[in-house]
């Protein structure tokens, strides 16, 4: 399929941010977006790049009533020499397709989606910020567009990609966060939507996150829905613990998102010859290790922060300080390794980086 490009006219172009140190997250979008339409029986048609604009949706569009939506989050990085890189972009579209299947939505062709993304990023390449730690955030999304009230999968869909410059996650160094172990609310149950990147999971997480913030915590650590016993993930990150000489993360059993950063960390830890386990880990084991002094480090992993060190865990009214409230050695080493690959500062032995410009 040929991608038609309708470039923005000069009067449609937006003012680019001039001070990259003031870039936040998720508020600024570039001049263009990619779109394509799906119709049952026809498949995906009309791939195009157009000036960024508001969508026009019928108020009965099924996404607005039954939540048929899936999305992704990845980034493009600018190296010191001006090159632009994508990191594991194919994996994000593969995950998008898995989410789509769970929500009875159509898959996209992974190679075509990567081509479309490359074309879009290169058209707006002046928007990829240059300062250290900044990047271009990429949000592919599919929504159900058919105007119909009645619960069944939609017959029509829109797939689009929007992109925008985002600031350095760590402006004042890698500060460890305080997390609250949530034992009242749940995020997702096995057999539900937890492993899909879809709106419902984020809606389910809001109230717990707000209540935790009011108590002074950055995020909540979710426990399994059935027994409120096993550690799952935290906010928009997967969770890792270093207990003794073992690095542990929850297995992918259906209720947590299979993070791309999680997968990268597992691979690197194994390459470095450190014991890496994907296994069920109870909150009691974590607390016990903290009491005994064998809980060496804890950190979250995700596209936004890469590695987010945890300095304190609070469970049932008790605070447990991790790694003396500082960032641990392995957390820092993993952060440096992944960031160096993303920004083209070292060789990529993993085959994760794609130079696009």
Ligand X SMILES: Cc1ncc(COP(=O)(O)O)c(C=O)c1O
Interface residue list for ligand X (CB under 6 A): 73, 233, 236-238, 257, 259-262, 301-303
Q: CB of residue 238 vs ligand X: minimum separation in angstroms?
A: 5
Give whole-number Cα distances, 154 to 110, 149, 161, 273, 289, in Å: 22, 10, 20, 48, 49
Helix (H, G, I), strand (E, B) or coil at 253: coil
In the complex with ligand X, the residue whose CB is nearer, 78 or 95, is 95
Residues 14, 15, 20: CA angle, nearest 5 degrees: 130
Strands (DSSP E) found in 167-289: 177-182, 219-223, 231-234, 237-243, 246-249, 275-278
Q: CB of residue 105 vs ligand X: minimum separation in angstroms?
A: 18
String of DSSP letters for 259-298: -HHHHHHHHHHHHTT-EEEE---BHHHHHHHHHHT-EEEE
- The position carrying tokens 């017959």 is 155
Q: Which of 220, 247, 223 is nearest to 234 (CA)?
A: 220
Q: CB of residue 205 vs ligand X: minimum separation in angstroms?
A: 8
Buried b (16+ CB within 10 A) or exposed e, 102-121: bbebbbbebeebbebbbbbb
In the complex with ligand X, the residue whose CB is nearer, 123 or 138, is 138
Q: CB of residue 21 vs ligand X: minimum separation in angstroms?
A: 24
Instruction: Show the tokens assigned to 18.
Output: 């001039």
Query: Are the beta carbons of 129 and 20 closer than 8 angstroms?
Result: yes
Quote the CA–CA distance of 264 and 54 in Å, as a whole number: 35
Q: CB of residue 228 vs ligand X: minimum separation in angstroms?
A: 18
Quote the CA–CA distance of 112 and 31 in Å, as a whole number: 21
Q: CB of residue 305 vs ligand X: minimum separation in angstroms?
A: 9
């Amino acid at each position: 399929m040929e991608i038609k490009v309708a470039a923005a006219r000069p009067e449609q172009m937006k003012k680019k941010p001039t001070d990259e140190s003031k870039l936040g997250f998720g508020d600024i979008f570039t001049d263009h977006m990619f779109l394509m339409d799906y119709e049952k029986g026809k498949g995906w048609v009309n791939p195009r790049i157009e000036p960024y604009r508001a969508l026009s949706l019928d108020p009965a569009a099924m996404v607005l009533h039954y939540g048929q939506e899936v999305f992704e989050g990845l980034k493009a990085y600018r190296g010191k020499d001006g090159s632009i890189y994508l990191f594991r972009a194919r994996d994000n579209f593969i995950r998008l397709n898995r989410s789509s299947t769970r929500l009875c939505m159509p898959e996209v062709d992974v190679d075509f989606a990567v081509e479309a993304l490359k074309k879009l990023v290169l058209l707006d390449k002046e928007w990829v910020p240059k300062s250290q730690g900044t990047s271009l955030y990429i949000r592919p999304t599919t929504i159900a567009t058919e105007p119909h009230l009645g619960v069944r999968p939609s017959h029509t869909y829109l797939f689009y990609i929007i992109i925008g410059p985002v600031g350095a996650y760590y402006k004042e160094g890698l500060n460890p966060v305080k997390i609250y172990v949530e034992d009242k609310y749940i995020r997702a149950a096995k057999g539900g939507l937890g492993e899909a990147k879809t709106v419902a999971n984020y809606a389910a997480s809001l109230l717990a996150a707000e209540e935790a913030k009011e108590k002074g915590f950055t995020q909540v650590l979710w426990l399994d829905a059935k027994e409120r016993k096993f550690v799952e993930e935290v906010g928009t990150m997967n969770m890792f613990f270093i207990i003794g000489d073992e690095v542990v993360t929850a297995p992918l059993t259906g209720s947590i998102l299979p993070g791309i950063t999680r997968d990268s960390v597992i691979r690197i830890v194994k390459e470095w010859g450190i014991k890496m386990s994907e296994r069920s880990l109870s909150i009691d084991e974590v607390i016990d290790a903290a009491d005994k002094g064998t809980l060496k480090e804890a950190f979250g992993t995700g596209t936004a922060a890469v590695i987010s060190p945890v300095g304190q865990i609070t469970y049932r009214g008790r605070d447990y300080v991790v790694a003396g409230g500082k960032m641990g050695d392995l957390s820092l080493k993993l952060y440096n390794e992944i960031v160096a690959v993303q920004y083209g500062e070292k060789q990529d032995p993993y085959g994760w980086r794609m130079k696009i410009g």
